[in-house]
Amino acid sequence: MDLTFSDDLLAFRAEVRAWLESNQPTGRFQPYYTEEGLAQHLEWEARLFAAGYSAPGWPKEFGGLGLDHWHQLIYDEEYARLNLPERVNKMGLLHGGPTVMAHGTPAQQEAWLPGILDNSDIWCQGFSEPDAGSDLAGLRTTGRIEGDQLVLNGQKTWTSFGVIATKMFALVRTDRDAPKHRGISFVILDLDTEGVEVRPLRQLHGHAGFAEVFLTEAAVPLANVVGPLNEGWRIAQTSLKLERGMGRGTHTRMLHTVDEIARRVGADPDTGSLERLGSHRAWAFAYEQATYELTDIMSRGRDEGALPSILKLRLSEILTGIVEEERNILGARAEQIPTGPPEAPLPSTQREYWHARAGEIYAGTTEIQKNIISETALGLPREPRP
């Protein structure tokens, strides 16, 4: 055991912190799905890009900083520590881009990756469908080969960043006769293709950046398929694994929320509140340390086993516990918001509250994670198939 950060990492932290602190935007941004908000986000993204800070995890050959897992963690911690704006091209940077790097042809890489870096293209993910949520492989959107084109029909939903995206990486069924997990292809499509309609999907807390995407005879070049045709499920594992893995700055934000509760409790401490606070603080600490442990494992190239699922499961439960406690402490004031719904999105307390509860559902529900953990880590038998 050795739980100290190396001098190299400490120096890197200082460097990142210094740059972020002196370059951070002033004031809070509007949501990215408003015109003003998008402009603010893109300006900030441009500043990151200019400084080479746009894609810390990408290899240098693709324009990234080529950071290893530990340096990325430090970067993400510092970014989260200052509560800096969400990266609007997250789906391209963390999911689509790395998948193209791993499975795309050199021509595809050359065509698509630069646009992610400089935000000339904003990417979104087209995996979920109305009837394919937890059961992702139950997707029904079809891709029909016609000459050198793939003609798409179907509906995608829960497309984060969908309202501002220009490109989507999607899973479509290209062989209807194959078993459920086969016959799926991974394809990139321009959202201005004819036959593509993007409708904003507003959430109950007012967030309106997600979208539903309707595909009606939308023709994309067959050359846009990443990896072999009908091998899309395997290809998508790259992206899904990243999604189910850690959000590298999550523990920092979690600890920050606990601090906020601690400050409120501190104003009038009583044993009941202190006991609950102590417990929340304990699990936030455990989650932070488990994030480090996963980073340690990944940086050694060792098998992560079920640890990403364990982290996802515990993360959502710890976070919902914390945000519920925030409501308890605010009491009757917990429901108050500065401006009237339904026009405006909810302010941070309520937004984070619902977002934490969403965490038990997206990227594999709590129930799905428990299935994965019990079957892979514990080796318990699968449910009998009906």
Query: Footprint of its own copies on this chain (CB under 8 A)?
Result: 270-275, 384-386
What would the two tokens of residue 122 be?
């904003």
For residue 309, the tally of other CB atoms under 10 A from its CB is 23
Asked if 206 and 346 count as a contact pair (C-beta separation under 8 A), the reply is yes
- Is the Cβ of residue 2 or residue 270 nearer to its own copies in the bound state? 270
Cα separation, 61 vs 55, whole angstroms: 12
Count of residues touching another protein (by CB under 8 A): 97
- State the nearest-atom distance from the C-beta of 265 to its own copies, in Å: 12
Selected binder of another protein within 326, 341, 363, 364 (CB under 8 A): 341
Selected binder of another protein within 27, 35, 179, 332 (CB under 8 A): 332
- Alpha carbon distances (Å) from 178 to 140, 174, 182, 295, 385: 13, 9, 6, 37, 18
- Is the Cβ of residue 270 or residue 343 nearer to its own copies in the bound state? 270
Asked if 356 and 322 count as a contact pair (C-beta separation under 8 A), the reply is yes
Judging by DSSP bridges, how do beta strands 142-146 and 123-126 pair with one another? unpaired
- State the nearest-atom distance from the C-beta of 383 to its own copies, in Å: 8
Task: Return phi, psi of residue 90, to 5°.
Answer: -50, -40
What would the two tokens of residue 151 be?
């003609």
- State the nearest-atom distance from the C-beta of 14 to another protein, in Å: 15
- Is the Cβ of residue 99 or residue 291 nearer to another protein in the bound state? 291
Selected binder of another protein within 43, 68, 217, 259 (CB under 8 A): 259
Contacts of 361 (CB under 8 A, 6+ apart): none
Active-site residue, selected from the candidate residues 243, 325, 326, 360: 243
Selected binder of another protein within 61, 135, 146, 197 (CB under 8 A): 135
298 belongs to the binding site for another protein (CB under 8 A): no
Q: With the CA atoms of 36, 251, 324 and 29 taken in that order, what torsion angle do they form, in degrees rounded to the nearest 10?
A: -10
Cα separation, 333 vs 304, whole angstroms: 43
Q: Residue 104: what residue type?
A: G
Query: Which residue in the block uniquely carries the two structure tokens 């609007």?
Result: 88
Burial (CB < 10 A; 0-12, 13-18, 19+), residue 8, is: exposed
Please name every residue paired with 167 in a beta bridge, in sequence order, or none if there are none: 123, 190
Per the annotation, the verdict on 243 as an active-site residue is yes
Cα separation, 340 vs 355, whole angstroms: 19
Please name every residue paired with 152 in a beta bridge, in sequence order, or none if there are none: 143, 218
Q: Which of residues 154-173 bind another protein (CB under 8 A)?
A: 157-158
Which candidate, 200, 235, 224, places its Cα nearest to that of 152? 224
Cα separation, 114 vs 63, whole angstroms: 8
Q: With the CA atoms of 99, 96, 287 and 41 taken in that order, what torsion angle do they form, in degrees rounded to the nearest 10?
A: 150
- Work out what residue 332 binds among another protein, its own copies, none; the CB cut-off runs from 5 to 8 Å by kind: another protein
- Is the Cβ of residue 194 or residue 270 nearer to its own copies in the bound state? 270
262 belongs to the binding site for another protein (CB under 8 A): yes
- State the nearest-atom distance from the C-beta of 325 to its own copies, in Å: 13
Q: Which of residues 67-126 bind another protein (CB under 8 A)?
A: 70
- State the nearest-atom distance from the C-beta of 136 to its own copies, in Å: 21
Cα separation, 204 vs 228, whole angstroms: 39
- Is the Cβ of residue 240 or residue 262 nearer to its own copies in the bound state? 262
Interior angle at CA 333, CA 329 and CA 338, nearest 5: 130
Selected binder of another protein within 5, 47, 231, 298 (CB under 8 A): 5
- Work out what residue 128 binds among another protein, its own copies, none; the CB cut-off runs from 5 to 8 Å by kind: another protein
- Work out what residue 3 binds among another protein, its own copies, none; the CB cut-off runs from 5 to 8 Å by kind: another protein
Selected binder of another protein within 59, 138, 181, 241 (CB under 8 A): 138
Query: x/- binding map, residues 56-75, to another protein, per CB under 8 A?
Result: --------------x-----
- Is the Cβ of residue 248 or residue 276 nearer to its own copies in the bound state? 276
Binding window for another protein (CB under 8 A); candidates: 27-35, 39-47, 188-196, 367-375: 367-375
Selected binder of another protein within 149, 296, 304, 321 (CB under 8 A): 296
- State the nearest-atom distance from the C-beta of 41 to another protein, in Å: 22
Selected binder of another protein within 273, 322, 326, 356 (CB under 8 A): 273
So which residues are the catalytic ones? 243
